[in-house]
Structure 1
Amino acid sequence: MTKTAWVFPGQGSQTVGMGADLLDLPEAKAKFEPSDKILGWSVAKIWQSEDDKVSRTLYTQPCLYVMEAILVDLLKARGQQPDFVAGHSLGEYSALYAAGVFSFEDGLRLIKRRAELMDSASDGMMAALLGFDRNQLEQQLQQTPNVVLANDNNAGQVVISGTPDAIEAIIHNVKFKKAVKLNVSGAFHSPLMTEAAVEFQKDLDTVHFSPAQVPVLSNVDPAPATDANLLKERLSRQMTGTVRWREISLRMPEEGIERVVEVGPGKVLTGIIKRTCPNLVLENISGAADLTNL
């Protein structure tokens, strides 16, 4: 049997009109009712909103989680099961749901609170860097206060997070092919999110975690784990910690994984993984149409 990992994208993969072919499916409708009660607004309407509300953090995170959970249910209903799961930032919550660590509703309540805290974060900024010398970047990060490596996606693509002055200093002092300042409300995955993380911990403490049914590769620690307490502890560090996606990708073939299925809108993660592990079989499930090709 081919070992398969399901991976779940995070913020940045959303698009207006995503999930259009899921709207009328019974599995989707079963998720919309509790979602709308928990959130106080309609996920389905935000998915389709032409004014791009889906790209505001407050809406993005719940919308992605609900969509990815629906796709998980559809995959499992067709007899599909992963051997490992992982998710990028927000996507780790979808991975934990797929692994049976918490209920859909508990996960959504956490996501709602996480989105509220991150949407209201006004300090700092983030920037993506492509095509750089890693040694030079790491040296500059060590020498520059108030900026950290937020997302280590692959050898040639990272995101830095910190104060505006510190971000500008890194961009000025590091040679790269391209730098893109991200349209986000704060310095996510950095110490500047500590206050939000402390508040979020209060909500996280109220949620029961069960042992994972399959190993989870966490953002802050790529070593596979199923222990409920360890997975919760790792998640508690995620808001301020680095997303170590490059290491997660490298860990997959070490664990015997041959096939990776990205579950969610777009092809962001498979594109990132391809550069790190070109021999893995990569597939995408972003809607009902993709399920017919299984």
Structure 2
Amino acid sequence: MRIQKSFSSQEQNTVYVVPTPIGNLEDMTFRALRTLEEVSIIAAEDTRNTKKLLNHFDITTHLISYHEHNKETRGEQLLHRLDNGESIAIVSDAGMPGISDPGFELVQAAIQADHPVVVLPGANAALCALVGSGLPADEFLFYGFLPRKKKDKEAELERLKLINGTLLLYESPYRIKDTLKMLHTHLGDRQISVARELTKKFEEYIRGTVRELINWVDKTELKGEFCLVIEGISREEVHENDLWWSSLSVVEHVSYYINEADLSSKDAIKRTASDRSMPKREVYQAYHVER
């Protein structure tokens, strides 16, 4: 067990997690600016982007890169600096480090090495989109980016469709159309809000049903990263979905997973057996032998 009293002393060997604006530079806090000025070094996802931010606020602290492709070797170097009493700020290109951005591994390593980790509050696209969506915010699941491969993406949507809370997803303009169509197939025509260009001049919320949003993207030039806020399933629907297959035969049940979820026959049999609480061999027998 580890107990950290973040402000009990002026520790020098501290990792500061510093959010940066997601579009509007006025969202940079006084505390974040002071921290970036006072630390020994800033670990940035892209030093070129962060350099523009620092130049805007006349901050001259030394920058070093820390991203997905060098996080292991660079993480060791940063830990060595912490061991020598230096303080480090970690920033991403926009928003909160560690949320669909680099940062988690460094935070974890610092904690394991008994170095303090202090997280500053600040900009985050998902929470802005959630509150602005008009959908319930008392219970929600932040997922981030769905897998790129169709099979993996569909498998995740099959899992997410039974979540009661509001769902938060990130998506690129290149995949938003396909993702909305897959949401309609696997989750149905739920209420949804799509936010883009958050905090910027052209900030936009598009609220409606999934089908309405599909029609919207077909007529719109898509730019900027999107945040999707999707209505969760009701508890009544959860009960209905638990037995959605009740009218199907075992063979039809397996065939559904093969044709609609693009699963292999082996995985479809496994999923069907789980749904029906049957031994896999009995499902296999019914699908491959008895039909």
- TM-score, normalised with respect to structure 1: 0.27
More relative contact order, 1 or 2 (CA 8 Å, 6+ apart):
1
